[in-house]
């Protein structure tokens, strides 16, 4: 170890110790300090690790957590970064603060799309996982093609690393790469010939620029795609979901490559995350039955993204939404609930929510009136926009209550006619609601 | 339903960023109030556009890559689209759609990409800058104020015979210089407004809807549309 990196490591570790001891935290500052002293510190810190990099628009966090669980069936030393610490400084902090590893340790890292190159400059990963790339309204400049290019710029520095990619997304089959590639995807339906809804993103055939068709489609532009014009089609899948047994709002049952699986979280998008974790597990020689065991555990720390709280006798599920693809998936998941439920949508447009509310019009709220929901709430700082959206979608005015001031939400939830309540909220609307709930002692303070 | 309007959603599967489809959804909502229904047809690559068939056309904005593909296909529809616009067909073009009705725009790589020149404006690009944020404009003719969200790199300059949709009160507008936003030419409306514009601006939605209805049903009575007002304060629990 050079003197420079020794000093950098020592400084970073000391900063972490200080912050951790006296401030009860400290996620990116130690990394920031260490990087200042030695920009190439990561090379030193990660040199003994086999690294798996997980990147993409949606599902990074859960895929990373599931992958750690799956690999934990077979490997003992696994380092991972906490959700949100997926940029360079956070990753450096993760290595700085790692417990001392004995054998050849693994690192499973969630990495922001634009930061892949920051990692590959210093580390040659064993594998990359590509979850998906959607247009995220938070990426104010990002188009799906430029996001993918950013990832590939990073991957280009590690041409021998295996890519484990979502085979249902056409974009991941659009460029010839030197890397070995393994694809995973859904393969349980009989072939038809359908097209995606008009307002779906990324439907151009990358080879001939005609509109792609689908033999079967899961959601957004994902599925068993093909181009009727030039024959471009979904690649062979190595890891297939071959049976979809059942989906409820809180669980899914399915088979991957013939292995039965139970997952304690609802939503088709989470099955994709499980598929990715299965793929990494198999790639690292974990037996399918062991993977099934790891995924079936009911681990609240892993599945904590959907928060459930109780207002009197009501069971309220609070779900964060930030883009139309995510919203549509949440609506799909809710539609699998056989119990009667009420529905609330809370919209803010602060920086952390995305300041443009246009995306709500790409969300398929038109599904809601079909679900026989007896009561609706619309609210948040942009209550006018979300209220009009729901009305246009066909939500009857007499079933709709408008709650601009979220401090009134608890009282309104109490009045709802169903035990089951779903609340979808943008980021700061969620924070405001949580703050209110915490002040009433309904939930613990702090952000989940 | 007594009245039926046929809408063409131009390249709806390629030019669909930022909820532009909401314009048709909002129009359909107001149409119900006057017993009208809107049938929407997707007109995309290789599909012919028949100007006699449609009562309303929406052309939204897209990503750079999709727009370059669309700009080529659009040339094959140049004549019928120009005919439709010249004949006074109601048309709403947003962002990239607005740009492509003009002479040209500048692509992401700095290349000049031809539009169809049905309208007399042209669009340049800014170096590493976008106009992003809330925008408010006022229409000189009606005195109406419109609200929206702009997010564009292109700077558009109107030609002779083109009026702006509004004068900029807050925000940047067509080019950040001449205080114009959007365009009105005959019954064609262009704008950089997302939001979507018709979902957030009831008066404009009703104006364009009425144009389409009266053009197809000259003897129809659509006066109830003027009395209709979307009351978003109804059912409000407590005002903030």
What are the tens digits of pLDDT across the range B101-114? Answer: 999 999 888 999 99
Q: What is the ipTM of this complex?
A: 0.95
For residue B45, the chain A residue with the least C-alpha distance is: A210
Q: What is the pLDDT of residue A448?
A: 43
Q: Looking at residues B116-122, what average pLDDT do you find?
A: 98
CA distance linking residue A135 with residue A133, whole number of Å: 7
The residue of chain A nearest to residue B64, with distances taken between CA atoms, is A143
- Secondary structure (DSSP) of A246-299: EEETTEEEEEETTEEEEESS--HHHHHHHHHHHHHHHHTT--HHHHHHHHHS--
Compare all CA atoms of chain B with the CA of A142 and give the residue at the minimum distance. B63
Q: Do B232 and A387 touch (CB under 8 A)?
A: yes
Q: Which of B95, B103, B112, B118 is nearest to B15 (CA)?
A: B95
**What pLDDT, on a 0 to 100 scale, did the predictor assign at position A245?**
97
Establish if A355 touches chain B: CB-CB under 8 angstroms. Answer: yes
pLDDT bucket at B219, cuts 50 / 70 / 90: very high
Chain B nearest-CA distance from A266, in A, is 27
| Tens-level pLDDT at each residue, chain A (448 residues) | 677 888 888 887 887 777 766 665 556 788 888 888 888 999 999 999 999 999 998 889 899 999 999 999 999 999 999 877 888 899 999 999 888 877 789 999 999 999 999 999 999 999 999 999 988 765 545 678 889 999 999 999 999 999 999 999 999 999 999 999 999 999 999 999 999 998 888 999 999 999 999 999 999 999 999 999 999 999 999 999 999 999 999 899 999 999 999 999 889 999 999 999 999 999 999 999 999 999 998 776 665 556 889 999 999 999 988 888 889 999 999 999 999 999 999 999 998 888 999 999 999 999 999 999 999 999 999 999 999 999 999 999 999 999 999 999 999 999 999 999 999 999 999 999 999 999 999 888 654 4
User: Is B21's CB within 8 Å of A195's CB?
Assistant: no
Task: Say which residue, B89 or A322, is predicted with more confidence.
Answer: B89
pLDDT of residue A303: 59
Residue that has been written with the tokens 């064609």 in this structure: B188
Q: What helix, strand, coil percent values describe chain B, rounded to 5?
A: 30, 30, 40
Across chain B, mean pLDDT equals 94
Instruction: Name residue A343's beta-bridge partners.
Output: A376, A422
Q: What is the model's pTM?
A: 0.88
**Residue B36 confidence (pLDDT) above 80:** yes
CB contact under 8 Å between A204 and B69, yes or no, is: yes
Measured between CB atoms, which of B9, B19, B239 is closest to A358?
A: B19
With contacts defined as CB-CB under 8 Å, which chain A residues touch B63? 135, 143-145, 201
A402 CB neighbours in chain B (<8 A) are 232-237
Q: At what angle do helices A3-18 and A29-37 cross, to 10 degrees?
A: 160
Burial of A444 (0-12, 13-18, 19+ CB in 10 A): exposed
Active site residues of B: 95, 194
Calculate Rg over the CA atoms of chain B: 17
pLDDT of residue B47 exceeding 90, the answer is yes
- Which residues in chain B are contacts of A136 at CB distance < 8 A? none
Which chain B residue has the Cα nearest residue A357? B195
| pLDDT (0 to 100) of residue B240 | 44
Q: Are B124 and B155 in contact (CB under 8 A)?
A: yes
Provide the shortest C-alpha distance from residue A318 to chain B (in Å): 21
The class level of CATH for B3-238 reads alpha beta
A389 interfacial to chain B (CB closer than 8 Å)? yes
Q: Flag if A359 and B19 touch (Cβ within 8 Å).
A: yes
Residues of A designated catalytic: 356
Facing residues of B156 across strands? Answer: B123
Tell me how far apart the alpha carbons of residues B125 and B188 are, in angstroms, rounded to a whole number. 23
DSSP character string of B145-213: EEEEEEEESEEEE--TT-B-SEEEEES-TTTSSS-EESEEETTEEEE--BTTHHHH-HHHHHHHHHHHH
Judged by a CB distance cut-off of 8 A, whether residue A203 touches chain B is yes
Question: What per-residue confidence (pLDDT) applies to B152?
Answer: 93
pLDDT at B26: 96
Q: Measure the CA–CA gap between A236 and A184, rounded to whole angstroms.
A: 9
- Cα distance between residue B214 and residue B126, in whole Å: 40
Distance CA B211, CA A239 (A): 55
Instruction: State residue A302's pLDDT score.
Output: 64
Asked whether the beta carbons of residue A404 and residue B200 sit closer than 8 angstroms, the reply is no
Per-residue model confidence (pLDDT) at position A22 = 64
What is the rounded CA–CA span in Å between residue A354 and residue A365?
19
Distance in Å, alpha carbon of B100 to nearest chain A alpha carbon: 19
d(CA B96, CA B17): 10
């Amino acid at each position: 170890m050079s003197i420079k990196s020794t000093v950098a490591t020592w400084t970073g570790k000391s900063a972490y110790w200080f912050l951790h001891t006296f401030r009860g935290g400290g996620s990116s500052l130690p990394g920031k300090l260490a990087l200042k002293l030695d920009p190439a510190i990561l090379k030193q810190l990660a040199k003994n690790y086999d690294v798996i990099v997980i990147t993409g628009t949606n599902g990074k966090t859960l895929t990373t957590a599931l992958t750690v669980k799956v690999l934990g069936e077979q490997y003992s030393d696994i380092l991972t970064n906490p959700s949100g610490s997926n940029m360079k400084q956070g990753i450096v902090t993760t290595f700085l603060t790692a417990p001392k590893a004995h054998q050849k340790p693994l690192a499973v890292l969630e990495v922001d799309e634009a930061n892949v190159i920051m990692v590959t400059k210093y580390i040659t990963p064993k594998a990359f996982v590509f979850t998906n790339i959607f247009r995220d309204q938070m990426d104010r400049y990002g188009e799906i093609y430029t996001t993918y290019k950013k990832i590939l710029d990073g991957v280009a520095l590690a041409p021998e690393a295996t890519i484990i990619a979502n085979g249902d997304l056409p974009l991941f089959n659009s460029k010839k790469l030197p890397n070995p590639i393994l694809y995973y995807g859904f393969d349980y339906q009989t072939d038809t010939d359908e097209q995606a809804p008009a307002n779906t993103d990324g439907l151009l055939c990358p080879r001939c620029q005609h509109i792609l068709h689908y033999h079967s489609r899961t959601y957004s532009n994902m599925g068993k795609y093909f181009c009727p014009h030039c024959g471009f089609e979904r690649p062979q899948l190595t890891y297939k979901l071959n049976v979809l047994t059942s989906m409820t709002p809180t669980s899914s049952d399915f088979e991957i490559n013939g292995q039965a699986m139970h997952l304690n979280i609802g939503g088709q998008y989470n099955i994709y995350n499980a598929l990715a974790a299965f793929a990494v597990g198999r790639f690292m020689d974990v037996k399918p039955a062991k993977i099934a065991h790891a995924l079936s555990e009911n681990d609240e720390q892993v599945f904590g993204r959907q928060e459930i709280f109780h207002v009197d006798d009501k069971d309220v599920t609070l779900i964060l939404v930030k883009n139309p693809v995510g919203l549509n998936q949440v609506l799909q998941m809710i539609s699998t609930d056989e119990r009667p439920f009420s529905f609330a949508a809370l919209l803010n447009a602060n920086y952390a929510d995305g300041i443009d509310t246009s995306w709500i019009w790409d969300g398929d709220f038109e599904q809601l009136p079909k679900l026989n929901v007896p009561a609706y709430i619309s609210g948040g700082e942009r209550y006018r926009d979300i209220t009009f959206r729901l009305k246009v979608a066909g939500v009857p005015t007499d079933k709709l209550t408008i709650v601009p001031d979220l401090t009134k939400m608890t009282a309104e939830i109490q009045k709802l006619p169903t035990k089951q309540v779903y609340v979808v909220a943008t980021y700061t609307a969620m924070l405001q609601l949580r703050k209110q709930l915490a002040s009433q002692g309904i939930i613990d303070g702090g952000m989940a | 339903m007594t009245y039926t309007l046929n809408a063409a959603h131009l390249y709806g599967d390629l030019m669909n960023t930022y909820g532009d489809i909401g314009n048709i959804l909002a129009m359909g909502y107001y149409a119900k109030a006057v017993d009208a229904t809107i049938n929407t047809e997707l007109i995309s690559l290789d599909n012919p556009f028949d100007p006699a068939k449609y009562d309303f056309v929406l052309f939204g904005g897209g990503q750079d890559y999709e727009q370059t593909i669309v700009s080529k296909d659009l040339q094959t529809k140049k004549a019928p689209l120009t005919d439709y616009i010249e004949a006074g067909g109601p048309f709403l073009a947003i962002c990239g759609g607005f740009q492509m009705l003009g002479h040209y725009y500048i692509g992401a790589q700095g290349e000049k990409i031809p539009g169809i020149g049905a309208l007399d404006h042209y669009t340049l690009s800014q170096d590493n800058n976008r106009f992003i944020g809330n925008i408010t404009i006022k229409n000189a003719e009606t005195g109406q104020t419109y609200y929206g969200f702009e997010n564009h790199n292109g700077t558009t300059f109107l030609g002779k015979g083109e009026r702006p949709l509004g004068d900029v009160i807050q925000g940047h507008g067509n080019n950040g210089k001449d205080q114009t936003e959007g365009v009105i030419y005959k019954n064609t409306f262009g704008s950089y407004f997302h939001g979507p514009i018709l979902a957030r601006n009831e008066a404009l939605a009703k104006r364009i809807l009425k144009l389409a209805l009266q053009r197809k049903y000259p003897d129809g009575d659509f006066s109830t549309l003027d009395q209709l007002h979307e009351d978003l304060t109804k059912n409000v629990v407590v005002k903030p």
